[in-house]
Each structure stands twice: as C-alpha cells, then as structure tokens.
C-alpha cells in the first residue's frame, strides 16, 4: 500500500540524508521518497522524510524555520569550518561568557553569510566541495540568510554550546567560523544537532531502527504524519464539491471561493469531508490550483 505522509527521522551521525531516504524507501517498499533540508553526515537530528504525494510539499517544509544545538570549539580553525577539515590555525583562548554574550546580537536578523568552501552549493554547475578538493581558489559570494535567536546553553572554555534558530540556507558552520573571527581566537563547529525543522521536532522524531521495528510490527502509522502537517500554520479553505472538481482539473476558482484570506497568497485546500486536496495560490485573477494531491474519498477511509 502506498504511503502518503511524513516520517520525522532522527538522523544519526555518520550517514548522509540520501542514506536515510534509501533506508526509508526500502522499509516502505515504494520509490517516491524524499527529504526536506539536507543534514551533513557529521550532523544529527531532525530530518523530515516525505513519501508519496507528500513529496510535492518538500519545498515548503524546507523553507520553514529551523533550530539547532551547536557545539563550537574556539582556538582551532579548519578549512571546512568543522571537524572534518584540516587545521589551518590554532590560538590560545581567553574568552569569557560575557565576551560571547556581547557579540551574539551582531549575528541576529537578516544578513549576508558566506557559505563554507566545503559545501554542496553549486558554482557553474559544480559542487563547491569538489572545486575546493581540487585546490581551486574560489571567491564564494555571500548569500542572504536570517538568524532569529542565539542562546548560550553552556560555556566551558574553549567550548560553547549554542542554541540557534534560523531561516533556510543558514550554515551553522559559517556562523561558528564568523563568531570565532569576531572574537579573535577563531573557532570551528565541533558538533551539530538539528532540534527542529518547521513543525517537526526532535522530541517527536523516530530513529531508523525504531521505524524498522514499527514496519515489522505494522505500527508505522503511529509515526506517520499527514502531508498537511507541514503547512498547519497556513490559512485554510474548505471547498464545496463544485470547487473541488475545479481544483482537480486545474481550473480557476471563482472569487467567492476566496473567503476572507485576501492578504494570503497560499492556502491549504480541503474537501467538505476533510480530505487535504493541496495548495491554492492567489494571483490577479483569483485562486489558482498550485499543488493538487490526488486524494479520493477512499483514501480518507484507509487510515492514512
């Protein structure tokens, strides 16, 4: 039976996000599986894995806010900004808790951040890490990011444990490097745990081994979130039968279907009996079907 939903996986250290997808694909026995928001092999924590028609919503989950617990070690700088790289500088550390707390507000808000050289970003069609490993000298342009909160969890010199809340595209490795340069002795990211990705939290996640057991015991539904869980902070519209048909055929919905949501450009759409139909997008002509999920009344009865 095809699964349409989201598994909130607690990715372990040492494997890639694609490895996680491959494992879930085997467990579920279906091909249409993807993830929202890559985690480096050295990082652990929340990795939403989407199955079936939920994969069509990956872009929205990837764009959601994220939270991390970062372990930053001062006094050692590496070329990759983390423990995987070569040490390029070492310095003595004489920082205090107050020194760090005073510097953190400078990193809050909308800003430009330069990604690490050893990252998966593409420059002229090639991954940065490929070019860096080939010894090429690169001038990587900074990218706009947003950091919403930085909270010190622990400071035991030379190691800082920091909670980070940020938007899409933020490199915590770059934050560690930039903070080290701002404070003087340099720093690198020693460990990283993603504690939240959109609505998916570490507390509600499941390990791959536990998910494998759930599949063997046919209890996987207990851990499968509905596709629209990724969009619950959006406004929603309930469509009558006529407008549901229009949406399925990609037809413009009449102005009367806009309800009271004129200030919003995207809406969750539901049938009168509660099935999630997909996403509507508003333009100058009215509400257009943007993402249509092929749900049927029979789907609503099978426990998914």
SS3 35: strand
pLDDT tens across 40-70, in order? 888 999 999 999 999 999 888 877 889 999 9
Say whether pTM exceeds 0.75.
yes
Question: Considering the domain 5-64+199-230 in this protein, what is its CATH number?
Answer: 3.30.2350.10
Per-10-residue mean pLDDT, the chain, length 304: 92 94 96 91 95 91 90 95 92 97 98 79 57 60 93 98 95 96 97 95 97 97 92 90 92 64 76 93 87 66 38
Q: Sign (positive/negative) of CA torsion 38, 156, 86, 112?
A: positive
Its CATH architecture, for the domain 234-301, is: Roll (2.30)
pLDDT at 136: 58
Residue 188 in 3-state DSSP?
Answer: strand
CB-based contact 100:152 (threshold 8 Å): yes
**Contact indicator for 203, 7 with CB cutoff of 8 Å:** no
Q: Do domains 66-197 and 234-301 have the same CATH topology?
A: no
Which residue's entry shows tokens 């959601």?
Answer: 64
Tally of CB atoms within 10 A around 232: 11
Q: Name the class of domain 66-197.
A: alpha beta
Give the separation between CA 4 and CA 89, rounded to whole angstroms.
49
Hey, what are 139's tokens? 């001038």
Whether 98 is catalytic: no
Residue 230: CB partners within 8 Å, gap ≥ 6? 6, 36, 48, 54, 57, 60, 61, 64, 198, 199
Catalytic one among 4, 40, 178, 228?
Answer: 40
């Amino acid at each position: 039976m095809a699964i349409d939903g989201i598994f909130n996986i607690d990715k372990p250290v040492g494997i890639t996000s694609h490895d996680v997808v491959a494992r879930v694909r085997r467990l579920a026995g279906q091909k249409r599986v993807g993830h929202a928001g890559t985690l480096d092999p050295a990082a652990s924590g929340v990795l939403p894995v989407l199955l079936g028609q939920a994969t069509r919503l990956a872009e929205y989950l990837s764009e959601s806010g994220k939270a991390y617990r970062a372990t930053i070690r001062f006094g050692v700088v590496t070329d990759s900004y983390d423990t995987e790289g070569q040490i390029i500088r070492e310095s003595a550390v004489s920082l205090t808790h107050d020194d760090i707390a005073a510097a953190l507000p400078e990193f809050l808000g909308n800003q430009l951040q330069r990604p690490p050289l050893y990252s998966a970003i593409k420059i002229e069609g090639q991954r940065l890490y490929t070019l860096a490993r080939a010894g090429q000298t690169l001038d990587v342009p900074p990218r706009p990011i947003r950091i919403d909160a930085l909270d010190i969890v622990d400071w035991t010199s030379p190691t800082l444990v920091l909670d980070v809340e940020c938007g899409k595209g933020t490199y915590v490795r770059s934050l560690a490097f930039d903070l080290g340069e701002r404070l003087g002795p340099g720093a690198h990211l020693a460990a990283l745990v993603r504690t939240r990705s959109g609505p998916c939290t570490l507390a509600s996640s499941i390990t791959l081994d536990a998910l494998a057991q759930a599949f063997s015991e046919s209890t996987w539904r207990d851990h499968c979130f509905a596709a629209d869980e990724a969009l619950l902070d959006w406004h929603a519209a309930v469509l009558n039968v006529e407008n549901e048909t229009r949406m399925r055929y990609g037809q413009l919905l009449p102005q009367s279907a806009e309800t009271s949501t004129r200030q919003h450009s995207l809406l969750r759409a539901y049938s009168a009996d509660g099935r999630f139909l997909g996403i509507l997008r508003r333009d100058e002509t009215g509400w257009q079907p943007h993402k249509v999920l092929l749900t049927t009344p029979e789907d609503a009865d099978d426990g998914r």
